[in-house]
């Protein structure tokens, strides 16, 4: 499985980058997984304002930053979107990046890892709907992470307090990535027929 771990916030001092590194490290430890961190901060693009839906525009003029993003996204078999919760939803930059997508993630599995108030659960709820409309196959399992600031260092390593606590988010992450891999293998076979 070629996996993109997409960091869905571009904010200065964002915690999503730490969380993305945590997901990436675990994904890289899995057998038959080639994982890469894809940081939205590396793909600056203007607000989506194309005159008609890109799915139906044969004469589409794509912004160069968006084109770079779309080419990167299309090259993967599966996705983990790492998002904070902003105002009970996802960051505008993440929604904007997804709005540019046409068929790049069609019939490919996607999962969501979040953080924030109530672990980012409301952001997950919204992002799953958005990804579904983008034709991704959104898997049921997700990971919510409360206390990212204290629970992860800058390199994405879990703190000893988290590891010793009652809730270890790594258990949820392992289950989610194993399910994502299963979906990726099954959908890859189906797409190749």
State pLDDT tens for residues 86-130.
999 999 999 999 999 999 999 999 999 999 989 999 999 999 999
What average pLDDT does the segment 147-153 reach? 87
Render 81-105 in DSSP notation, one character per residue: EEEE-BTTB--HHHHHHHHT-SSTT
The enclosing domain of 185 has a CATH number of 3.40.50.360
What average pLDDT does the segment 148-176 reach? 87
Query: 54 is written with which tokens?
Result: 């890109």
Residue 174: which domain range?
Answer: 2-49+60-192
Render 14-34 in DSSP notation, one character per residue: -SHHHHHHHHHHHHHTSTT-E
- Whether 151 maps to a domain, the answer reads yes
pLDDT bin (cut points 50, 70, 90) of residue 161 is: confident
Q: What angle (nearest 5°) sits at the alpha carbon of residue 160, between those of residues 24 and 118?
A: 65
Total structural domains within the chain: 1
What average pLDDT does the segment 155-165 reach? 84
φ, ψ of residue 2 to 5 degrees: the values are: -95, 115
Say whether pLDDT at 191 is over 80. Answer: yes
What average pLDDT does the segment 25-54 reach? 96
- Whether 54 maps to a domain, the answer reads no
What average pLDDT does the segment 163-180 reach? 89
Residue 121: CB atoms within 10 A of its CB come to 15
Chain position carrying tokens 């968006």: 66
- Whether 153 maps to a domain, the answer reads yes
Report pLDDT for 148: 85
- Whether 55 maps to a domain, the answer reads no
- Whether 180 maps to a domain, the answer reads yes
- Whether 133 maps to a domain, the answer reads yes
Among candidates 116, 87, 84, 111, which has minimal Cα distance to 7? 84
Torsion of CA 68, 138, 143, 125, to 10 degrees: 100
H helices of 41-159, in order, are 64-74, 92-99, 121-133, 148-151
- Whether 67 maps to a domain, the answer reads yes
Say whether pLDDT at 156 is over 90. Answer: yes
- Whether 169 maps to a domain, the answer reads yes
Among candidates 148, 147, 139, which has minimal Cα distance to 175? 139
Cα 51 versus chain centre, distance: 27
């Amino acid at each position: 499985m070629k996996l993109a771990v997409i960091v869905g916030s571009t904010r200065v001092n964002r915690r999503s980058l730490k969380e993305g590194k945590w997901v990436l490290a675990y994904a890289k430890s899995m057998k038959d997984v080639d994982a890469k961190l894809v940081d939205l901060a590396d793909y600056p693009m203007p607000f989506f304002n194309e005159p008609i839906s890109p799915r139906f525009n044969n004469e589409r003029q794509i912004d160069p930053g968006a084109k770079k993003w779309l080419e990167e996204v299309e090259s993967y078999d599966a996705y983990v979107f790492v998002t904070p919760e902003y105002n009970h939803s996802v960051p505008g930059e993440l929604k904007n990046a997804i709005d540019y997508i046409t068929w790049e993630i069609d019939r490919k599995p996607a999962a969501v890892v979040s953080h924030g108030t109530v672990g980012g659960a409301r952001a997950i709820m919204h992002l799953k709907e958005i990804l579904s409309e983008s034709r991704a196959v959104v898997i049921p399992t997700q990971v919510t992470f409360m206390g990212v600031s204290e629970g992860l260092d800058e390199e994405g390593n879990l703190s000893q307090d988290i590891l010793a606590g009652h809730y270890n988010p790594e258990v949820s992450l392992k289950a989610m990535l194993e399910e994502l891999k299963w979906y990726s293998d099954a959908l890859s076979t189906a797409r190749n027929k």
